Amino acid sequence: MRAVRYHEHGGPGVLTVEDAERPDPGPGELRVEVRAAGVNPVDTYFREGSYEPPELPMIPGSDFAGVVDAAGEGVEGFAEGDRVFGTGLGNDRQGTYAEYAVAPTDRVARLPDDVGFAEGAAAALVGVTAWRALVDHAGLEPAETCLVHGGSGGVGHVAVQIADSVGARVVTTASEEYHDRLEEMGADVIVDYGREDLADAVVEAAGRSDVILDHRLDQYLDFDAEVGTQGVRVVGIGNTEPDAGFDNVAAARAKEMQLQLMSMYNTPDMAAILRKLAWMLAEGDLRPRVSKRYDLDHAAEAQKAVLHDSFLGKLVVEP
């Protein structure tokens, strides 16, 4: 099969397209003919070596959507020809920027018939992340106020939609050009993250926040303590560490701010969340936006873009 692989750690230039052996599914696993693979910042962390992949050479990519091509021993509930999507690969096993990928069934769900493969792949990792952050960890309730930093990003634009479907009042920060589309996705208040008076603007427009999804703790932990309500629940997902100069300790203590860090890869039952996401996709409650598509030969470009370009939603690789 054709696959993108890296044999050593480094920049996007270490990615090459080559012939790799088509993997066979083991017990409880599915082989999926990949039609789309989501591109996530974490794919670049494994490539450059700040996260440790299980082996080299390595195929990058966590997210996939495609068609079941073969089922391993003992698999129940899936059959050849099923349309599926999933995530969580590329971490403890080979990834998804390839014509075929093998996934355990507990990281897979059926993709509704009228949802495209690109949209399925685009929804998976970010959807599981946003669900685990907002619902599992923060316990977001209807009528609460949820602040999503960076609402135009992969996680952000799905988090806005999940928070909206929970019934929360959704506040988000994003560049001006994305405000209209984020409003269509369910954001009630949108503030440009570049504003000098960002904290005042958020509090003035939205009141204080009960739950905050923070993808840049280095920049926003003080801010979160300032704009959070009493007992604010902050979930930190970003690849950055809180600043050593966290100044708002007194405010955080007085508010009894809770800070939960998380890794999507620890999600105990990804398939359960994926089934919920599938239901939301089918109902039209979740519409992941595919901003740009790349073929395997341009996967390096996609990995550059996911870190350095501005876009609304997700980038996908289509083998």
Q: How far is the CB of 100 from ligand NAP (least distance, A)?
A: 25
The reply on whether position 173 binds ligand NAP by CB under 6 A is: yes
As a whole number of angstroms, the distance between CA 15 and CA 145 comes to 42
As a whole number of angstroms, the distance between CA 222 and CA 255 comes to 13
Q: Which is nearer to ligand NAP, 91 or 165 (CB)?
A: 91
As a whole number of angstroms, the distance between CA 109 and CA 107 comes to 7
Binding positions for ligand NAP, 249-308, rule CB under 6 A: 262-264, 306
Tokens representing 96 are 């998804």
Q: How far is the CB of 66 from ligand NAP (least distance, A)?
A: 21
Q: How far is the CB of 178 from ligand NAP (least distance, A)?
A: 7
The reply on whether position 230 binds ligand NAP by CB under 6 A is: no
Name the maximum alpha-carbon separation found in the chain. Answer: 58
As a whole number of angstroms, the distance between CA 30 and CA 269 comes to 17
Q: Which is nearer to ligand NAP, 42 or 58 (CB)?
A: 42
The reply on whether position 242 binds ligand NAP by CB under 6 A is: no
Q: How far is the CB of 247 from ligand NAP (least distance, A)?
A: 18
Backbone angles phi, psi at 255, to 5 degrees: -85, -5
Q: In Å, how far are 130, 177, 297, 308 from 262, measured between CA atoms?
A: 11, 30, 33, 24
As a whole number of angstroms, the distance between CA 29 and CA 92 comes to 14
Backbone angles phi, psi at 183, to 5 degrees: -65, -45
The pattern of x and - marking residues 24 through 63 that bind ligand NAP according to CB under 6 A reads ----------------xxx---------------------
The reply on whether position 120 binds ligand NAP by CB under 6 A is: no
User: Using CB under 6 A as the criterion, which residues of the chain lie in contact with ligand NAP when the complex forms?
Assistant: 40-42, 126, 129, 149-150, 152-156, 173, 175, 193, 215-216, 219, 237-239, 262-264, 306, 310
